[in-house]
Amino acid sequence: MPILTLTTDFGSKSFDVAALKGSLMSSCIDLNIIDISHEIEIFDKVGAAYALKNAAANFPANTIHFTNINLKEGNNRIIIIKRGTQYYVCPDNGMANLMFPNEDFKAYVVQGLEKNFSYKETHEKLCEIVKFAENNSDITVFGIETTSYLRVPSVRAAVNEDLIRATVIYIDRYNNAVVNVDKETFYNFIGNKAFIISTRGNRAHKINKHYSEVEPGEIVCIFNEANLLEIAIRNGKATQLLGLEYGRVVLIETA
């Protein structure tokens, strides 16, 4: 039974998600559909890449991951990314290297789509791919290998001698802010020194292991399951109380 995950910015108010699932299940009755998220902010490739990459790492071999964020942006075509034992079907709009900046994958341009393909045509092609995957996992037969997929600049933290200038790249449903600094980069920079994490006059001096280590209303800084720095307010909304909206700069300094 093929496994297909869905990551979209359709939201939960329209019928689009249900219509997509209905089309897929009509084509492949035994299909196992898993929702990663349909609450990605509209057109937010960075957020979609973050959510999809970190969820996909937990799935069995030969899982197919589909996302249609900004379908017509970039090279106006659909690509299949093969990385390890996982497959990603997505627009050729920079999603590939946003998910995997080290480019340790192969890319294939999906064939059989008209130049001005629609959502419907994309979903029909996805149905073909999924149906094929019932008996043969190597869905790259639907594409021609390419190295000319669209690359966009990754949102990376700037690491200087005495300062990391980081950026909020994702806001989760609890209104916690995920920052583009991983655990290894942080501790290589800090070492055994005291530090300050600051944004808009708000400061933190400690990395916590659990949200419960602080009192309600206090700042919590942890490394999440993706090993990225997360800034939160216990029982509160960091985006509102700390002004940590998407794209906000966060400074990490040695004290």
pLDDT in tens, 116-126: 888 888 988 99
Nearest 10 degrees: Cα torsion 120, 1, 93, 115: -40
Last residue in a domain, options 96, 112, 146 = 146
Structural domain includes residue 162? yes
pLDDT recorded at residue 253: 92
Are both 45 and 133 inside the same structural domain? yes
217 beta partners:
none
Are both 124 and 174 inside the same structural domain? no
Mean pLDDT of 186-210: 90
Are both 167 and 105 inside the same structural domain? no
Is 90's pLDDT higher than 90? yes
Mean pLDDT of 203-209: 91
Are both 162 and 139 inside the same structural domain? no
Is 255's pLDDT higher than 80? no
Q: What are the start-end ranges of the H helices in the chain?
A: 16-27, 45-56, 95-99, 119-133, 183-190, 238-241
Given CA atoms 48, 83, 98, 95 in this order, what sign does their dihedral have?
A: negative
pLDDT recorded at residue 80: 97
Q: How confident is the model at residue 166 (pLDDT cuts 50, 70, 90)?
A: very high
The β-bridge relationship of strands 32-37 and 3-7 is: parallel
Q: How confident is the model at residue 242 (pLDDT cuts 50, 70, 90)?
A: confident
Are both 34 and 72 inside the same structural domain? yes
